[in-house]
Amino acid sequence: MAVMMPASDQAVLGRRDKIVAALRAIVPGEGVIDSPAEMIPYESDGLMAYRQPPMVVVLPDTTEQVSQVLKYCFEQGIKVVPRGAGTSLSGGALPLEDGVLLGLGKFKRIREIDYDNRVVVTEPGVTNLAISQAVAHAGFYYAPDPSSQIACSIGGNVAENSGGVHCLKYGMTTNNVLGCEIVLISGEIISIGGKSAETSGYDLMGIITGSEGLLGVITEITVRILQKPETARALMVGFAEVEAAGRCVAEIIGAGIIPGGMEMMDRPAIHASEAFVHAGYPLDVEALLIIELDGPGVEVDELIGRVEAIAQNSGSTTCRISGSEAERNLFWAGRKAAFPAVGRISPDYLCMDGTIPRGALPTALARIRDLSAKHELGVANVFHAGDGNLHPLILYDANKPGEMERAEAFGADILRVCVELGGVLTGEHGVGIEKRDLMPEMFSEIDLNQQQRLKCAFDAQGLLNPGKVFPTLHRCAELGRVHVHGGKLAFPDLPRF
């Protein structure tokens, strides 16, 4: 394992039987799993290159049980790793050898649907898609749509601040969540926000969203739901040069058009997808854009015309416009199957997730091409072009010695390029363990210390999901110390009035 995890606490491991018994007293029956064979499914999440059996798995089904489990672990100094559906691509739910894996899989109930206030109150184990399905008959849906939406849980979405292809127009999880019930490591149950547009006081909901399971365990979530747009149509536009596609993206935005989705694929991704799903993608282009407009028919028709004209002016070589729902879905089928399609042409692949300013797309692609040559590994690129979120898929074969390490080094180089171009390490997959050690590329020690102080406000002993997000762990007491600079009292440089 290339990523170092916190050292195991041998004293805790020595008390394992006692701990299992104590957890059984809180969560009876099948809710505590401690046999090695049954724990195998929990050894890793969507970042499958990393595996670690937990000390024990607990699957509570009430908030009260979650509270008691956490309180017990808090008092006993036992680490806890929360887990939703286990679809994280950054290793956010990777267990610890000496940690309790706390699964929220039994929190599967939608508690309330309130159409008048346009919210759904749900337990965290409900899948993203199930929320949309529950309100579909009334014309509503839940907007964020990560590509794993059939499997990923809403609790995990909140923990990771998940995105999806439509977040350019409709926002990420953080823009669509109004409140939650969260259990702190002390066992304390706290309710934040609700059906109102804003919470009172500091926006703790905003900080919990995307906190990757380091601040607390979410047991209930209130999400906003929206009415489905009347209609949606898509354009599939091919370009002989990546630069022209990048220009087209910038000009659409510059013209004041915010498409529902705007995706780009490069030649290797186009070829892999076309071979897999036969969506009718042009094979003689270097870049393909799928641009979806949604809204009332009259609006979509007009915007389709405007986007088509912009595409032509940007040098498109092919352009197809969906004439039916079936055709629109076909355009998307290739894009949505891009990951498994690449999986067919390469034994293994590593999916990266940096974000760059839109305007830097062509530069980023050229740099990725150079890096591909340097690391002698292939790459297929899939982008959320509208918001500059890149998903380079690095192709490798884990059975060939050294290839996985090279793939990881290639990936790290790509993320460094993202930061260098004014972007960030992760757009939607989270830091987890995967990008943890790259955090100093983007943040100074002072920046990271401020983030860790916030962690201390929730979990002063660092028991919740340790080893994730932060490259180095500091003691909270040390972080909280104020250094008074006595000699600089006068600040003579400051003009006084």
Partner 1 sequence: MDTLKVRDAGDVEQAVRAALAGEQPLEIIGHGTKRPIGQPMATNALLDLSALNAVTSYEPNELIITVQAGAPLADVLSLIDSRNQQFAFEPVNTASLLGTPKLGTIGGMIAAGLAGPRRVKAGGVRDHLLGAHAVSGFGDSFKTGGRVVKNVTGYDLCKLLAGSWGTLAVMTEVTLKVMPRPESERTLVLRGLDDIAANRAMTAALGSPFDVSGAGHLPNSAFRGPQSGLGGLGDPQAVTLLRLEGIAASVVHRADALAKLLAPFGQAEIVADAASSSIWNSLRDVEPFAANGPLGAWPVWRIVCPPASGGALGQQLSRDTGGDVIYDWGGGLIWAALPPKPDAHAALLRQRVDAVGGHASLLRASVEVRRNVDVFHPQQRGLAALSERVRRSFDPRNILNRGRLVRESPA
Task: Map the footprint of partner 1 across residues 374-393, applying CB under 8 A.
Answer: 384, 387-389
| Residue 427 binds to partner 1 (criterion: CB under 8 A) | yes
Letters for 396-425 (x = contact with partner 1 by CB under 8 A, - = none) are: --------------------------xxxx
Among 227, 313, 329, 472, which residue sits at the site for partner 1 (rule: CB under 8 A)?
227
Sheet holding 99-103, edge to edge: 32-33, 56-58, 99-103, 79-83
Q: Based on CB atoms, which residue is closest to partner 1, 40 or 190? A: 190
- 163: closest CA among 154, 173, 155? 173
The C-alpha atoms of residue 80 and residue 298 are separated, in whole angstroms, by: 53
Number of residues that bind partner 1 (CB under 8 A): 107
Provide, rounded to whole angstroms, the least separation between the CB of residue 282 and partner 1: 26
Token pair 């990881």: residue: 408
Q: Based on CB atoms, which residue is closest to partner 1, 191 or 329? A: 191
Token pair 């972007």: residue: 423
Q: Based on CB atoms, which residue is closest to partner 1, 185 or 265? A: 185
| Residue 137 binds to partner 1 (criterion: CB under 8 A) | no
| Residue 196 binds to partner 1 (criterion: CB under 8 A) | yes
Provide, rounded to whole angstroms, the least separation between the CB of residue 31 and partner 1: 26
- Give the torsion through C-alpha atoms of 313, 319, 321, 322, to 10 deg: -150
> CA-CA distances (angstroms) from residue 228 to 212, 231, 327?
29, 8, 19
Q: Which parts of 94-133 interact with partner 1 (CB under 8 A)? A: 114-118
The C-alpha atoms of residue 291 and residue 255 are separated, in whole angstroms, by: 14
Helix ranges (DSSP H) in 421-474: 439-442, 445-458
The C-alpha atoms of residue 306 and residue 247 are separated, in whole angstroms, by: 15
Token pair 């009347």: residue: 230
Q: Based on CB atoms, which residue is closest to partner 1, 30 or 198? A: 198
The C-alpha atoms of residue 40 and residue 55 are separated, in whole angstroms, by: 11
| Residue 456 binds to partner 1 (criterion: CB under 8 A) | yes
Other Cβ atoms within 10 Å of 95 Cβ, number: 25
- 217: closest CA among 58, 453, 43? 58
| Residue 428 binds to partner 1 (criterion: CB under 8 A) | yes
Residue type at position 301: D
| Residue 175 binds to partner 1 (criterion: CB under 8 A) | yes
| Residue 48 binds to partner 1 (criterion: CB under 8 A) | no
Q: Based on CB atoms, which residue is closest to partner 1, 47 or 395? A: 47
Provide, rounded to whole angstroms, the least separation between the CB of residue 429 and partner 1: 7
Token pair 């979650």: residue: 66
Q: Based on CB atoms, which residue is closest to partner 1, 423 or 462? A: 423
Q: Among 24-32, 62-70, 73-81, 193-201, which window interacts with partner 1 (CB under 8 A)? A: 193-201
| Residue 206 binds to partner 1 (criterion: CB under 8 A) | yes
Provide, rounded to whole angstroms, the least separation between the CB of residue 368 and partner 1: 17
Q: Which parts of 338-377 interact with partner 1 (CB under 8 A)? A: 355-359
The C-alpha atoms of residue 381 and residue 289 are separated, in whole angstroms, by: 12
- Residues 341/273, Cβ–Cβ less than 8 Å: yes
| Residue 313 binds to partner 1 (criterion: CB under 8 A) | no
Among 56, 192, 288, 395, which residue sits at the site for partner 1 (rule: CB under 8 A)?
192
- Which string of b and e fits 51-67 if b means at least 16 CB within 10 Å? ebbbbbbbbbbebebbb
Among 36, 201, 323, 401, which residue sits at the site for partner 1 (rule: CB under 8 A)?
201
| Residue 482 binds to partner 1 (criterion: CB under 8 A) | yes
Paired residues of 380 in beta bridges:
393
Query: Where does 25-76 show beta strands of DSSP type E?
Result: 32-33, 56-58
Provide, rounded to whole angstroms, the least separation between the CB of residue 435 and partner 1: 8
Q: Among 123-131, 316-324, 362-370, 456-464, which window interacts with partner 1 (CB under 8 A)? A: 456-464
Q: Report helix angle 338-345 to 267-277, nearest 10.
A: 90
Q: Based on CB atoms, which residue is closest to partner 1, 105 or 295? A: 295
Q: Which parts of 251-310 interact with partner 1 (CB under 8 A)? A: 251, 253-254, 256-258, 295-296, 298-299, 302-303
